[in-house]
Structure 1
Amino acid sequence: MKRFGLLGRIILAIILGVLIGSFVNEGIIRLFATFNGLFGGFLSFIIPFIIIGFITPGIGTMGLGAGKTLGLSTILAYASTIIAGLIAYFVARGAYPNILGNQTLESVTDPSKGLSESYFVIEMAPPMEVMTALLLAFVLGIGIAAIKGDKLLHVMIDFRDIIILVIEKFIIPLLPFHIFGLFANMTHAGQVATILSVFAKVFVMIIILHILYLILQYSVAGSMSKQNPFRMIKQMLPAYFTALGSQSSAATIPVTLKQSKTLNIRESIADFTVPLFATIHLSGSTITLVSCSLAVMYLHGDATSFGSYFQFILMLGITMVAAPGVPGGAVMAAAGLLESMLGFDQTLLSLMIALYLAQDSFGTACNVTGDGALASITNSLSKFGKHQK
């Protein structure tokens, strides 16, 4: 039940929110809105700490790796993540006008036009701006790697563990209640039919993109290693279904590692790259984040240029480095970028989180299954480098 828990609770929260929001009075809805305001305020407060806690030890740890193999693996993981984001962007921009039609939700961020207001507001000002946190995280992470600062790295790893604890023990358990309140409020305001219709269509599109991207990854890996890509995918299915159940790349590492070694990958390469890719290769999560964020912006009637969105995708590939092996880690790491680069407010961010978490396990499964392809490509390229010498 624990493995099924988060997805089950989110689905239950949406269903109960729709049902209860359809008949309760304004006073009760305002209670839900008050909780949502408090939770959303805390989420905005914690985002800079999440950025520093994830990125700093992630970059610092990578800097202590094994030379050329580390560099090659990191470039492959980042390139795969960016390509996945770009594919998702162009597919979504082309598909949404057709599959979402004229659905809009332009009043969703204005309580006077539909959503009920909270009874009171408590200001929880973030300690710093999102971009300040990003810059600080990069400076600290690169600095730790450059000076091999083991003591500071251990401090930042402990800090990351505290942030993970906050996410696991506070944010994730309360998210279903937050989503429940949001959907109850939207149902009361008459907005929920549009949202649920979008959920279903976007969900299907994302799963199709995951599958097609895995086929692309293994086609490249298979052509380089002279193997059948579909046989390679079949070999990695145990890792896919393990991730589907656990929603954690980290928890799936033993299975991913075992299955990767059936793809004719040298054991030393597999042992090094698979745990690394589990933390830095997030192609499936990127497909989901880009697709969901574009859907939310489409609903809200916003249009973002490719240049702006390309910058978002580039930053996304870095920001999610070492996102924790907990459900929702990627969207938590990306929350700051959604606010600072795409202009998401608390309500849009809540919709984004709900959309993302509804299929988080599929994104994680795509991530870890793709790790096998990248490990195979790394193996092929490292062999090629040796032959060149």
Structure 2
Amino acid sequence: MKKNTSLIFKIFLALLIGINLGLICKYINFEFPIKFLATFSELFGNFLSFIIPLIMIGFIVPGIASLGSNSGKALLITTILAYISTLGAGFIAFFAGSNIFPKFLKANTLVIASGNNISSFFSIEITPIMSVTSALVFSFVMGISLSKIQNSSILNIFNELNVIVLNITSKALIPLVPFYIGAIFAKLSFSGEIFTTIKSFAIVYTVLFIIQGLYILLQYSLAGIIKKKNPFKLIKNMIPAYLTAIGTQSSSATIPVTAECVKNNEVSEEVTDFVIPLAATIHLAGDTITLVLTSMAVMYMTGRIPTFPIMLPFIFMLGVTMVAAPGVPGGGVMAALGILESMLGFGTLEKPIMIALHAAQDSFGTATNITGDGAIAIIMDKILNKETQIDNELNKNTILE
């Protein structure tokens, strides 16, 4: 918990230092520190572009393979419900952003802010081993294929790659992210447009938190109708899990508390023990709301219009891409960087902005994820209990005959 809090603190500290450094250097007309930071950000950005395909393969292949290795109707129904919930979150976020952001966000803010371009001292080109699209297709093909093979030695290789990539992400990328973000914001503040950018971010977060809260209410309204229970009472029972997720910033680490809260909502132990660990991996409604809204905001601020045809495939891919995203702060956005680059065209300016926007609210996105897991468990409990009753009735009739 202290580690997660420390990361958020470092990001905010880096933002503060970067903004003030850029303003001071602009005031005294001293470019050297900004050029130094520009060199670091370019080198780190190139390394990030190199590692993104490996992150996608390391996360997605084991995630899909392990998911497919299980069997049964319960797995299929839970997966469908989780994916529908994730898609629903994405579409609601899109329509909210489409109606609100054009009225409040200033077009070309980031383009203007990056217009005073500070060149780096030197650059090292690091070519990725494959394109993001190739990595995505390869991951799906291998993940689905390996899910059909029991005790696959090849899957063990990808599991080890998952560990390697997770170590690179948690021990190299994530610790350097605050410096990367600080360098980008130093360049932005040096241009003189930083305060307009920060004002835009405040608007994005206001919309973001409102949509997350409304989506939790929507999920439990549906669960309450199905279970014939007051949705506010169901949500009240989930508050300990929500608060725990804010502290742990990890769906996996919150599983014990989530399970206890779900049982308090009168969900059977069997369903709870199956649904909650699975949903913690595949249900990412909170992250989807965050990434859809923040990516739309960044597009508006760079003079692009996030139309429905552009965002539709992105939303569909987002739920799949982040399956089995690592339980470390910023893991969700790291897993999504590939499709942000390949599908939305995000580059060296947009990607660090996305990391900063996501990291600042990561704990609330996680809390929205796991609270939604409780709603899925309630629905699954009703579905499975109904099927059990039908099976018992059929068996009873067979015996009488």
TM-score with structure 2 setting the length: 0.94
* 2:394 alignment counterpart: none
Distance 1:226 1:232, change over 3 A: same
1:119 aligned to which of 116, 121, 127: 121
The structure 1 residue matched to 2:57, chosen from 4, 29, 52, is: 52
What is the CA-CA distance between 1:201 and the residue it aligns to? 1.1
TM superposition shift of 1:21 = 1.0
Alignment of 1:349-360 (within 5 A): 349-360=351-362
8 A Cα contact 2:106 2:301, kept in partner: no
C-alpha deviation, 1:387, in angstroms: 3.6
Does 2:254 match 1:252? yes
1:341 equivalent to 2:343? Answer yes
Once the two structures are superposed, the pairs formed by residues 75-114 of structure 1 within 5 Å of their partners are 75-101=80-106, 104-108=109-113, 113-114=115-116
SS of residue in 2 equivalent to 1:304:
coil
Residue 108 of structure 1, CA deviation = 4.9
Report the TM-score, using the length of structure 1 for normalisation. Answer: 0.96
Matched, 1:37 2:45: no
Give the SS at the match of 1:146. Answer: coil
> CA offset at residue 103 of structure 1?
6.3
Residues 178-193 of structure 1 mapped to structure 2, 5 A cutoff? 178-193=180-195
Matches within 5 A, 1:170-209: 170-209=172-211
Distance 2:38 2:110 in 1: 18
Distance 1:291 1:335 in 2: 15
Separation in 1, partners of 2:296, 2:151: 40
**How many Å separate the matches in 1 of 2:14 and 2:204?**
19
Once the 2 structures are TM-superposed, how far is the Cα of residue 102 of structure 1 from its aligned partner?
Answer: 5.1
Matched, 1:376 2:381: no
Q: Distance in 1 between matches of 2:325 and 2:265?
A: 27
* Percentage of identical aligned residues: 47
1:282 is matched with which residue? 284
The letter for the 2-side match of 1:381 is I
CA deviation digits over 1:276-327, x for unaligned, max 9? Answer: 1111100000000000000000000012331121000001111011111111
CA distance in 2, matches of 1:191, 1:136: 41
Q: How many residues align?
A: 386
Q: Is the 8 A contact 2:113 2:194 kept in 1?
A: no
Residue 9 of structure 2: aligned partner? 8
> Whose radius of gyration is greater, 1 or 2?
2
CA distance in 1, matches of 2:170, 2:107: 38
Q: Give the structure 1 partner of residue 72 of structure 2.
A: 67
Query: Residues of 1 paired with 2:101 and 2:390: CA distance?
Result: 47
For residues 197 and 249 of structure 2, the distance between their equivalents in structure 1, rounded to whole angstroms, comes to 24
5+ residue gaps, structure 1, are: none
Structure 2 counterparts to residues 222-371 of structure 1, below 5 A: 222-371=224-373
Structure 2, unaligned stretches of length 5 or more?
392-401
The question of whether the paired residues in 2 share the 8 Å contact of 1:53 and 1:163 is answered with yes
Q: Tell me how far apart the structure 2 counterparts of residues 73 and 195 of structure 1 sit (CA, whole Å).
A: 40
**What secondary structure sits across from 2:253 in the alignment?**
helix
The amino acid that maps onto 1:16 is: I
Contact 1:81–1:281 (CA<8 Å) still a contact in 2? yes
TM-aligned CA deviation for residue 114 of structure 1: 1.0
Q: C-alpha deviations, 1:113-166, integer Å up to 9, x for none?
A: 313111111011110011110111111111111122443323222211111111
Deviation at 1:264, TM superposition (A): 1.1
What is the deviation of 1:347?
A: 1.1
AA partner of residue 337 (structure 2): A
- How far residue 355 of structure 1 moved from its aligned partner, in angstroms, is 0.9
Q: Determine if contact 2:61/2:140 at 8 Å carries over to the other structure.
A: yes
Following TM superposition, by how much is the alpha carbon of 1:194 offset from its aligned partner in structure 2, in angstroms? 1.9
1:118-137 counterparts in 2 under 5 A?
A: 118-137=120-139
Give 1:98 shift: 1.9
How far residue 219 of structure 1 moved from its aligned partner, in angstroms, is: 0.7
C-alpha contact 1:30 1:116 (8 A) present in aligned 2:
yes
Aligned partners of 2:4 and 2:60: how far apart in 1? Answer: 27
Q: Please say if residues 113 and 189 of structure 2, whose CA atoms lie closer than 8 Å, have aligned partners that are also in contact.
A: no
Query: Against the structure 1 CA distance between its residues 153 and 102, is the aligned structure 2 distance closer, same or farther, given a 3 Å change threshold?
Result: closer
Contact 1:115/1:186 (<8 A) preserved:
no
CA distance in 1, matches of 2:354, 2:264: 37
Contact 1:130 1:337 in 2 (8 A): yes
Give the conservation status (yes or no) of the 8 Å contact 2:65–2:147: yes
Cα displacement string for residues 43-83 of structure 1 (whole angstroms, at most 9, x for unaligned residues): 10000011111110011111122411100010011110011
- Contact 2:107-2:302 at 8 Å conserved across structures: no
RMSD value over aligned CA atoms?
1.3
